[in-house]
């Protein structure tokens, strides 16, 4: 019997500012450091930055992409799940995580926050959509504490 | 060649108050009166009330349900599309409508609003989630005007 | 309460010979004559021919298409369900029919036959994949008898 | 930039004989030995046996399951992708593999063979559905050669 891999979903826009990109990379690093694998939508922007951070810290990255072509995943994704389902894959991105970290994003991110909350997952948000149920974090130090706690639970 | 059926998606909670139920039924009647077919998630609450209203006005109702068993659709659905896809079917509910009417609802409704806005659809809201891009309507009279205008466009 | 619309799914290739096209159109006519609505994948070839036949006989046609753009449905589809899910929509095409008629087709048709049989649906085949469980029909006259019988059941 | 993980999908029935179970486990071992990660539908029968074999050889296993509850995956799955999409997840199981190994199975396996061939993937079959396009293997030694060759390509 295997010990299940703990998984953290990172959601956010496929475009982002440099500042958000650095935040995403730091989030990726913290996830990898905690021993969790990172799951995301596999494309650019916050997703690419988070994967980059996770790889820099020696972690594992999973990208659940909307199309059928694995080459469309960003270059920091280890394991590509090509769905061919378009935006319907958003349910899978958050359904796969044991917890969810939400970064700034557009309506796609909002749909993912919705699905995560439907599934009663904990959603930790950095400067993202202000939706009832999202737990706001102020800095990545708080995320580190949260992940340590979640993994014990 | 056939003239495409104009379709209006109605989204909202699977439970609702009597007052919202009456609103939903009135929305259904107006959609049917306009000559549009009504699309929804096919379950209870606002969905059932909207279908009931549409049937009272002689309209056609389509229910895109999460499960595989057609019997789970509410009894006012004419055409049942059983997806077996759970909440991932939410993309289809709004993707099928030419316009979307949003009633009060929970996170499922929020996910549908998100997907409608991703698809650049017009979303007309009655007392629903306050999301940038949703066009708020005050009463069903406004909806009637909107549908008449949409169908011409 | 509404009486559910009886639905017949027609599956087959998106390209076909003239002979198969005429067969598909005849199948569409018989479905419409029986009072059933026709469901298909909404694209060309056998799907378009079947929809054409159904419309010639005054029937209703539903196209569950792989993409997000309703304009990609063939011109004989009344009600377009744009899934954006690619081939994953094949489950819905057969899941929606109360019975399934299989025409000649490629691997997509084979996947639909598989899903119909998983769902324990009756699959009536005309010169299609020779899979255990498919009920072979010799001519459209037999289909007419079958549909009359199914609707009573 | 990361080197993508090479992935092999194993498809087959959720129930199987002891003999097929041993074959599946051997297939899992060979996949792990080759350095590939194993992808499957995550349930019992051939899927569980293949995952068991892969874990015995120190490999990584990914289960793309039909439901939403990770606990429904077999106990040899490391990374669980809970889709909530029922049989529609079959497209993902084969879409994720760079090559596909087909074991004995029922209609679900047939649908997966169909989708793999739609996607122009190589499908290597052990005593499975006799469908045009499936490359039949006689023993696991042949699979070992195939995987070594595929990874170089």
The partner residues of B125 in beta bridges, in order of sequence, read B102, B136
Determine the distance in angstroms separating the CA of C116 from the nearest CA of chain A, rounded to an integer.
Answer: 21
pLDDT for A84: 97
Query: Rounded distance, CA A57 to CA A38, Å?
Result: 12
pLDDT-based confidence at C152, cuts 50/70/90? confident
Task: Express as a percent the part of chain D with pLDDT over 90.
Answer: 95
**Is D96 within 8 Å of A81 when comparing Cβ atoms?**
yes
Query: Rounded distance, CA A102 to CA A10, Å?
Result: 6
- Helix pair angle (B18-33, B140-152), 10° resolution: 30
In this predicted structure, the answer to whether residue D65 has a pLDDT above a threshold of 70 is yes
Q: Quick one: how many helices (H) and strands (E) in chain C?
A: 5, 7
**E-state strands within D69-139:** 79-82, 99-102, 123-125, 135-136
**Is A83 within 8 Å of C84 when comparing Cβ atoms?**
no
Determine the distance in angstroms separating the CA of B105 from the nearest CA of chain C, rounded to an integer.
Answer: 23
pLDDT-based confidence at A153, cuts 50/70/90? low
pLDDT for D108: 98
Query: Rounded distance, CA C64 to CA C93, Å?
Result: 6
Query: Rounded distance, CA B106 to CA B43, Å?
Result: 14
Query: Rounded distance, CA A19 to CA D31, Å?
Result: 42
Q: Give pLDDT tens digits for C10-22.
A: 999 999 999 999 9
**Backbone φ, ψ for residue C11 (5° rounding):** -120, 150
**Is D107 within 8 Å of C91 when comparing Cβ atoms?**
no
Element (H, E) at B81: strand B79-82
On whether the CB atoms of residues B112 and B12 are closer than 8 A, the answer is no
| Percent helix, percent strand, percent coil in chain B, to nearest 5 | 45, 20, 40
Determine the distance in angstroms separating the CA of B106 from the nearest CA of chain C, rounded to an integer.
Answer: 23
Q: Up-side HSE of residue B49: CA atoms within 13 Å toward CB?
A: 21
pLDDT for C66: 98
Show residues of chain C in contact with D133, CB under 8 Å: 107
Q: Give pLDDT tens digits for B79-119.
A: 999 999 999 999 999 999 999 999 999 999 999 999 999 99
Short-list D17, B82, D89, B96, CA closest to C67? B96
In this predicted structure, the answer to whether residue A1 has a pLDDT above a threshold of 70 is no
Q: Give pLDDT tens digits for B57-75.
A: 999 999 999 999 999 999 9
pLDDT for B66: 98
| Total CB pairs under 8 A between chain C and D | 46
In this predicted structure, the answer to whether residue D85 has a pLDDT above a threshold of 80 is yes
Q: Is B130 exposed, middle or buried (0-12, 13-18, 19+ CB in 10 A)?
A: exposed
Q: Give pLDDT tens digits for A66-117.
A: 999 999 999 999 999 999 999 999 999 999 999 999 999 999 999 999 999 9
pLDDT for A150: 85
**Quick one: tokens of C70?**
């309703």
Q: Give pLDDT tens digits for D116-139.
A: 999 999 999 999 999 999 999 999
- Measured torsion, CA atoms of residues D80, D81, D82, D88, in degrees rounded to the nearest 10: -130
**Is C114 within 8 Å of D118 when comparing Cβ atoms?**
no
Give the SS3 label for residue C100.
strand
pLDDT-based confidence at B120, cuts 50/70/90? very high
pLDDT-based confidence at C153, cuts 50/70/90? low
Cβ count within 10 A of residue B18: 8
Q: What is the mean pLDDT of residues D26-46?
A: 98
**Mean pLDDT over each residue of chain B, to the nearest integer:** 96
Show residues of chain D in contact with A36, CB under 8 Å: none
Show residues of chain C in contact with B79, CB under 8 Å: 4-5, 7, 37, 62, 79
Q: Which residues contact A134 (CB under 8 A, 6 or more apart)?
A: A102, A113, A117, A123, A124, A125, A128
Q: Does A62 touch chain D (CB under 8 A)?
A: yes
Strand-pair category, C135-136 with C123-125: parallel
Query: Rounded distance, CA D134 to CA D123, Å?
Result: 5
On whether the CB atoms of residues D46 and D103 are closer than 8 A, the answer is yes
pLDDT-based confidence at A118, cuts 50/70/90? very high
Using CB atoms, list chains with 3+ pairs below 8 Å to chain D.
A, B, C
Element (H, E) at B8: strand B7-11
Q: Give pLDDT tens digits for C45-92.
A: 999 999 999 999 999 999 999 999 999 999 999 999 999 999 999 999
On whether the CB atoms of residues C124 and C146 are closer than 8 A, the answer is yes
Short-list A62, A68, A93, CA closest to A80? A62
Write the DSSP assignment of chain A as a string of letters.
Answer: -PPPPPEEEEE--SS--HHHHHHHHHHHHHHHHTTPEEEE--SSTHHHHHHHHHHHTT--EEEEESSS-GGGS-TT-SEEEE---GGGGHHHHHHH-SEEEE-S--HHHHHHHHHHHHTT--EEESS----TT-EE-SSHHHHHHHHHHHHH-
| Percent helix, percent strand, percent coil in chain D, to nearest 5 | 45, 20, 40
Show residues of chain D in contact with B85, CB under 8 Å: 84-86, 88
Q: How far is CA D23 from CA B37, D27, D133, in A?
A: 53, 6, 22
**Quick one: tokens of B131?**
């999301």
Q: What is the mean pLDDT of residues C91-114?
A: 98
Query: Rounded distance, CA B87 to CA B67, Å?
Result: 9
């Amino acid at each position: 019997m295997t010990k299940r891999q703990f998984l953290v979903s990172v959601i956010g826009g496929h475009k982002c500012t440099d500042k958000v990109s650095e935040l995403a990379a730091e989030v990726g690093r913290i996830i990898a450091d905690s021993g969790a694998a990172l799951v995301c939508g596999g494309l650019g922007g916050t997703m690419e930055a988070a994967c980059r951070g996770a790889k820099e810290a020696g972690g594992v990255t999973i990208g659940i992409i909307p199309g059928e072509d694995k080459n469309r995943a960003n270059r920091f994704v280890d394991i590509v799940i090509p769905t061919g389902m378009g935006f319907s894959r958003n349910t899978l991105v958050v359904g796969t995580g044991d917890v969810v970290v939400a970064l700034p994003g557009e309506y796609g991110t909002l749909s993912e926050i919705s699905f995560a909350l439907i599934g009663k997952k904990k959603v930790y948000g950095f400067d993202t959509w202000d939706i009832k149920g999202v737990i706001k974090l102020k800095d990545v130090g708080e995320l580190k504490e949260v992940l340590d706690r979640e993994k014990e639970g």
